[in-house]
A = this chain, B = another copy of it.
Amino acid sequence: MKDTVKNVLFISDGTGLTAEVLGETLLTQFPDIEFKRSIVPYVRNTKEAYSAVEKIKKLENKSSTSPLVFSTLVDDELREIIASSGVKVFDLFATFISPLESILDCQSVHKKGRMHGIRDYDLYHYRVNALNYALNHDDGLSHRSLENADVIIIGVSRCGKTPTALYLAMQFSLKAANYPLIEEDLAKEKLPDLLRPFKNKIIGLSIKQEQLYRIRQERRPDSPYASLKQCKKEIQQALGIFEVEDIPYLDTSSISIEEIATRIVQKANLHRPGY
């Protein structure tokens, strides 16, 4: 069976994002198998469910093996239609909802598309405001209202500050400013004065020199900015500042944006709205 491509279908009555996360998390445990993914989102009536079954049948005919199906469908009728295809369905609701009902001593509402679905006006604005904050305070753009930041991310150019700040806003509705340590800051071997009042909410990012070199070379090939010597010097100076000023920091070289962001939440002991 190994070395053949396995088809995977994510079926959902909403965006499909939950089905995908559920399935992908499990599939990462089978690194030797090549998976080919399709998503069937917004399955909200019997017609769409039968059309999903068609897709399953088509994939079954094309391949020597049945596709894997991960489903987060809530509606019993729609789930039964998918089950009628005869393939094994990894079904989040069928599996977990009744033990959850019994432990909560409460019937579930069985409503479709609730996760990532209906917009909660306040939450939406909290999130969009956090995104606007991150955009307005990207790359040291504005030093105004730094007192409103939940966290200020500092580090040398191209160490991952911007994606991290945007992720913190998008995923956790946290206001993250980011400030680049440029040569002038680094030469002073201490925190820039304008950041000092906010020292207790500063997190440093570092990166391995080879990684920074690679990223900067892609951006400005063969420039002094991208030289290995310059990368090494800046990183050492930044680390020096983190040490002298006792600023918590983490190395972004081999971790994902999600991990950088969640490590920051942990390190800075940030309180996400609702948590």
Contacts and interface: CB of A to CB of B under 8 A. Distances in A.
Contacts of A90: 96, 99-100
B24 A115 contact: yes
A15 B262 contact: yes
A18 B1 CA distance: 28
A115 B21 CA distance: 9
A50 interface: no
A256 interface: yes
Interface of A: 1-2, 6, 14-18, 21-22, 24-26, 28-33, 37-39, 41-42, 68, 72, 74, 88, 90, 92-93, 95-97, 99-100, 103-106, 108-111, 114-119, 121, 124-125, 127-128, 131-132, 135, 138, 160, 162-163, 166-167, 170-171, 214-215, 218, 253-259, 261-263, 266, 274-275
Given A32-B106, A170-B257, 4 more contacts: A15-B258, A17-B258, A28-B111, A127-B257
21 contacts: A2-B106, A15-B261, A15-B262, A17-B262, A21-B21, A26-B97, A30-B109, A32-B106, A33-B104, A37-B274, A68-B103, A90-B99, A95-B95, A116-B258, A116-B262, A117-B255, A117-B256, A125-B215, A125-B218, A131-B162, A135-B138
